[in-house]
Amino acid sequence: MKLKILVGTMTSTADYVAQAIQMDCADLVDDIEVALMDDLDISVFDDADALYLICSSTYGSGDVPDNARNLYDSLDLTPKFLGHVRYGVIALGDRTYSQTFCFGGKKFDERLQGLGAQRIGEVWCHDASAATLPEELGTVWCREWLEKEAIPALQKATA
Protein backbone atom coordinates (compact mmCIF):
# COMPACT_ATOMS: atom_id res chain seq x y z
CA MET A 1 0.00 0.00 0.00
CA LYS A 2 1.16 3.51 -0.83
CA LEU A 3 0.66 6.50 1.48
CA LYS A 4 0.58 9.85 -0.29
CA ILE A 5 1.06 12.81 2.03
CA LEU A 6 -0.09 16.10 0.49
CA VAL A 7 1.50 19.08 2.20
CA GLY A 8 -0.03 22.54 2.54
CA THR A 9 2.41 24.88 4.25
CA MET A 10 3.64 28.45 4.50
CA THR A 11 6.70 28.15 6.73
CA SER A 12 7.48 24.41 6.30
CA THR A 13 6.20 23.03 9.62
CA ALA A 14 3.72 20.77 7.83
CA ASP A 15 6.53 19.62 5.53
CA TYR A 16 8.70 18.68 8.54
CA VAL A 17 5.78 16.70 9.96
CA ALA A 18 5.31 14.86 6.66
CA GLN A 19 9.02 14.07 6.36
CA ALA A 20 9.16 12.79 9.94
CA ILE A 21 6.22 10.49 9.15
CA GLN A 22 7.94 9.34 5.97
CA MET A 23 10.95 8.21 8.01
CA ASP A 24 9.16 6.90 11.07
CA CYS A 25 6.36 4.94 9.42
CA ALA A 26 8.35 3.32 6.60
CA ASP A 27 7.93 -0.12 8.19
CA LEU A 28 4.13 0.08 8.10
CA VAL A 29 3.44 0.69 4.39
CA ASP A 30 5.21 -0.22 1.14
CA ASP A 31 5.85 3.33 0.05
CA ILE A 32 5.40 6.83 1.48
CA GLU A 33 5.40 9.75 -0.93
CA VAL A 34 5.52 13.35 0.30
CA ALA A 35 4.25 15.98 -2.15
CA LEU A 36 3.97 19.71 -1.62
CA MET A 37 0.54 20.81 -2.82
CA ASP A 38 2.05 23.47 -5.13
CA ASP A 39 0.69 22.95 -8.65
CA LEU A 40 -1.39 19.91 -7.71
CA ASP A 41 -5.04 19.67 -8.64
CA ILE A 42 -7.88 17.22 -8.11
CA SER A 43 -6.22 14.68 -10.44
CA VAL A 44 -3.76 13.87 -7.62
CA PHE A 45 -6.61 11.77 -6.21
CA ASP A 46 -6.78 9.55 -9.31
CA ASP A 47 -4.61 6.82 -7.76
CA ALA A 48 -7.17 4.26 -6.62
CA ASP A 49 -4.60 2.19 -4.71
CA ALA A 50 -3.19 4.99 -2.56
CA LEU A 51 -4.12 6.06 0.93
CA TYR A 52 -4.02 9.85 1.28
CA LEU A 53 -2.96 12.04 4.18
CA ILE A 54 -3.72 15.75 4.01
CA CYS A 55 -1.16 17.63 6.11
CA SER A 56 -2.03 21.32 6.10
CA SER A 57 -1.53 24.42 8.19
CA THR A 58 -3.89 27.41 8.42
CA TYR A 59 -3.34 31.05 7.43
CA GLY A 60 -5.10 34.36 7.02
CA SER A 61 -8.39 34.08 8.83
CA GLY A 62 -8.85 30.34 8.64
CA ASP A 63 -7.62 29.84 5.08
CA VAL A 64 -5.56 27.12 3.49
CA PRO A 65 -1.90 28.15 2.91
CA ASP A 66 -1.00 29.80 -0.40
CA ASN A 67 0.63 26.67 -1.81
CA ALA A 68 -2.60 24.72 -1.18
CA ARG A 69 -4.89 27.20 -2.91
CA ASN A 70 -4.75 25.63 -6.38
CA LEU A 71 -5.57 22.13 -5.12
CA TYR A 72 -8.26 23.38 -2.75
CA ASP A 73 -9.95 25.50 -5.44
CA SER A 74 -9.77 22.69 -7.99
CA LEU A 75 -11.97 20.56 -5.73
CA ASP A 76 -14.64 23.21 -6.34
CA LEU A 77 -13.91 24.31 -9.89
CA THR A 78 -13.36 20.89 -11.46
CA PRO A 79 -15.23 18.58 -9.08
CA LYS A 80 -15.60 14.86 -9.58
CA PHE A 81 -16.78 11.95 -7.50
CA LEU A 82 -13.99 10.76 -5.20
CA GLY A 83 -15.74 7.72 -3.75
CA HIS A 84 -12.58 5.61 -4.14
CA VAL A 85 -10.50 7.98 -1.96
CA ARG A 86 -9.64 7.07 1.64
CA TYR A 87 -7.82 9.76 3.57
CA GLY A 88 -6.74 11.14 6.94
CA VAL A 89 -6.10 14.73 8.01
CA ILE A 90 -3.35 16.40 9.98
CA ALA A 91 -4.40 20.00 10.61
CA LEU A 92 -1.85 22.46 11.99
CA GLY A 93 -3.01 25.63 13.67
CA ASP A 94 -2.80 27.81 16.73
CA ARG A 95 -5.48 28.02 19.40
CA THR A 96 -4.91 31.73 19.83
CA TYR A 97 -6.92 31.91 16.59
CA SER A 98 -9.89 30.58 18.50
CA GLN A 99 -12.51 31.20 15.79
CA THR A 100 -10.55 29.49 13.03
CA PHE A 101 -8.47 26.85 14.83
CA CYS A 102 -7.03 24.40 12.28
CA PHE A 103 -9.49 25.47 9.60
CA GLY A 104 -6.96 24.78 6.80
CA GLY A 105 -7.07 21.01 7.34
CA LYS A 106 -10.73 21.09 8.31
CA LYS A 107 -11.65 22.87 5.09
CA PHE A 108 -9.96 20.16 3.02
CA ASP A 109 -11.82 17.56 5.03
CA GLU A 110 -15.17 19.22 4.41
CA ARG A 111 -14.60 19.56 0.70
CA LEU A 112 -13.28 16.02 0.23
CA GLN A 113 -16.27 14.60 2.09
CA GLY A 114 -18.53 16.66 -0.14
CA LEU A 115 -17.06 14.85 -3.15
CA GLY A 116 -17.68 11.42 -1.64
CA ALA A 117 -14.18 10.71 -0.29
CA GLN A 118 -14.10 8.79 2.99
CA ARG A 119 -12.09 10.01 5.92
CA ILE A 120 -10.56 7.34 8.13
CA GLY A 121 -10.36 8.35 11.79
CA GLU A 122 -10.71 11.82 13.27
CA VAL A 123 -8.94 14.96 12.06
CA TRP A 124 -5.76 15.30 14.13
CA CYS A 125 -5.10 18.91 15.19
CA HIS A 126 -1.85 20.40 16.43
CA ASP A 127 -1.79 23.62 18.43
CA ALA A 128 1.36 25.69 17.82
CA SER A 129 0.76 27.62 21.07
CA ALA A 130 0.96 24.43 23.15
CA ALA A 131 4.77 24.25 22.99
CA THR A 132 4.73 20.65 21.73
CA LEU A 133 6.61 19.42 18.69
CA PRO A 134 4.27 18.68 15.79
CA GLU A 135 6.80 16.26 14.21
CA GLU A 136 6.91 14.16 17.37
CA LEU A 137 3.20 14.14 18.13
CA GLY A 138 2.32 13.84 14.45
CA THR A 139 4.38 10.69 13.94
CA VAL A 140 2.93 9.10 17.09
CA TRP A 141 -0.57 9.91 15.86
CA CYS A 142 0.19 8.64 12.35
CA ARG A 143 1.63 5.30 13.49
CA GLU A 144 -1.45 4.66 15.58
CA TRP A 145 -3.75 5.85 12.80
CA LEU A 146 -2.09 3.53 10.27
CA GLU A 147 -1.96 0.52 12.58
CA LYS A 148 -5.35 0.74 14.24
CA GLU A 149 -7.53 2.48 11.68
CA ALA A 150 -6.26 3.05 8.14
CA ILE A 151 -4.57 -0.27 7.35
CA PRO A 152 -7.41 -2.39 8.85
CA ALA A 153 -9.99 -0.28 6.98
CA LEU A 154 -8.22 -0.74 3.65
CA GLN A 155 -7.72 -4.47 4.25
CA LYS A 156 -11.43 -4.80 4.97
CA ALA A 157 -12.31 -2.87 1.81
CA THR A 158 -10.21 -5.15 -0.42
CA ALA A 159 -11.14 -8.45 1.32
Q: Site residues for ligand FMN, window 6-35 (CB under 6 A)?
A: 9-14
35 vs 41: CA distance, rounded Å? 12
Q: Residue 86 pairs with which residues in a beta bridge?
A: 51, 118
Kindly state whether residue 97 participates in binding ligand FMN, applying the rule CB under 6 A. yes
- Pairing assessment for the beta strands 50-56 and 31-36 based on DSSP bridges: unpaired
Q: Between 19 and 118, whose beta carbon lies closer to ligand FMN?
A: 19
Site string for ligand FMN, 44-73 (x = CB under 6 A): -------------xxx-xx--x--------
Main-chain phi, psi angles of 124, to 5 degrees: -95, 125
- How far apart are CB 17 and ligand FMN at their closest, in Å? 8
145 vs 19: CA distance, rounded Å? 16
Contact positions vs ligand FMN (CB under 6 A): 9-14, 57-59, 61-62, 65, 92-94, 97, 100-103, 128
